Amino acid sequence: MKKKTNNYILPVHLIFLVLTFFYIYAIFAKINTIFTNIPNKSLGFYKSRGGGENFREVFMYWSLLVLPFILTISLTPLVIKECKKYSIYDIPNKRSQHTTPIPRLGGLVFVSAAILTSLLYFFLKRQINENRIIEFFALTSVIFIFGVLDDFLNLKAMLKFVIQIAVGLAAVFFGFKWTTFAGIALPAYISGPLSFFIIITLINAYNLIDGIDGLCGGLCLLYLIPVSIFSFKIDNITSIVCLMFISSILGFLVYNKPKASIFMGDGGSQTIGFITATLPLLNFNSESCSIPLEIELLLCSLPIFDLIAAIWRRLRDHKGIFSADKMHLHHKLQNIGLTPKKSLLLLLGIQAILDSVVLISLSLKSGFSYIFIITGYIFMIAFFTVVHIMNRKACKNKHIPYGKSVNP
């Protein structure tokens, strides 16, 4: 008997290949426009007085960039073994994609590897006291530690939210604030609360979207690539932290790809949310930051739109905003017929499109740049609208009350 397939499901693999080509082209186009403007001291490339490069320093600092990957890929199997020994699992429930208990302390390895190697790099470069490096890693560590504690102890949602509020307020106090939007200066009474709201939003958005093997790590990886590229034009601090996390996340994804042998847990997903909210502001001064706020929100629009939809859905149904359900974006995609792997490829492809739009827009003059950015937002609204309509149709065809869909 032939397995029924939905006629409206697109050939995801072909689309993904096309998007990958477009994405790689956009990256190289952007690199080509900024390569000549990279500061002499970026990534440890020092020019000597004779005009040659100090290859010893080049080798040492590039070795440090590879270190997070090596640490993560080497230590993760040990964490998996210890999780199994002490039964530290993510137990399947009615919302889970997995059917067997999976270790959930992956964030413990890749976040620690990225933080420690970043601090080592800045210590060797004698940059440890520059900008807000200490404050950034201190706040990142707080979110990370309480996230890991949640993986161990299953902390109450309200307690986690209070901790997020405290970290968000501290971040704004230390100067992690967006002061412009679309080239318009924001007054202090707007920039402070807005920045706090963005931090809290992204911490929870990336935590909630971590529902498919490889999704949260993959989205963060694709977020960090354009941020690291654009940061070269300003300074090497943000770009170095981006590259350290890219390196460690790549090592983690070796074990988190479908079918995953370990999950990142809240220690990983909440930390990812925090760094996406604050990394662009690490180099911030009175004149510039790594990427504009309108670009930041576009790059993070997948988890942000999913969070907005979740809050609206729960308020509409008179449920608490902390209550869990099975109507997130990845659930809807599977409800309309996509497998978890195809859902992952589609969402990463969407993120690659956003990256390409951003990289191209940052290479254009301001007028054309904003046309690209607005087009990106329209594309995301259209994507979520189409998924919403198709999900409602699938629920109707399966005689499932809308809002209570199940995986196929």
pLDDT, tens digit (0-9, with 9 covering 90-100), for 70-98 = 999 999 999 999 998 888 888 777 666 66
* pLDDT at residue 408, rounded to an integer: 37
Mean pLDDT to the nearest integer, 263-279? 95
d(CA 362, CA 138): 31
| Cα–chain center distance at 266 | 13
* pLDDT at residue 383, rounded to an integer: 95
Mean pLDDT to the nearest integer, 216-221? 96
What type of residue is 70? I
> Quick one: three-class SS letters along 123-134?
HHCCCCCCCCHH
* pLDDT at residue 394, rounded to an integer: 87
Residue with more model confidence, 17 or 71 = 71
Mean pLDDT to the nearest integer, 34-52? 43
d(CA 92, CA 108): 21
pLDDT of residue 161 exceeding 70, the answer is yes
pLDDT (tens digit per residue) in 93-121:
766 666 688 998 999 999 999 999 999 88
Residue with more model confidence, 133 or 18 = 133
* pLDDT at residue 98, rounded to an integer: 67
Mean pLDDT to the nearest integer, 338-365? 90
Mean pLDDT to the nearest integer, 295-310? 95
Domain residue limits, the chain = 53-397
Residue with more model confidence, 83 or 62 = 83
Residues 6+ apart with CB under 8 A from 176: 132, 135, 136, 195, 199, 277, 278, 281, 284
* pLDDT at residue 405, rounded to an integer: 42
Indicate the pTM of the whole model.
Answer: 0.84
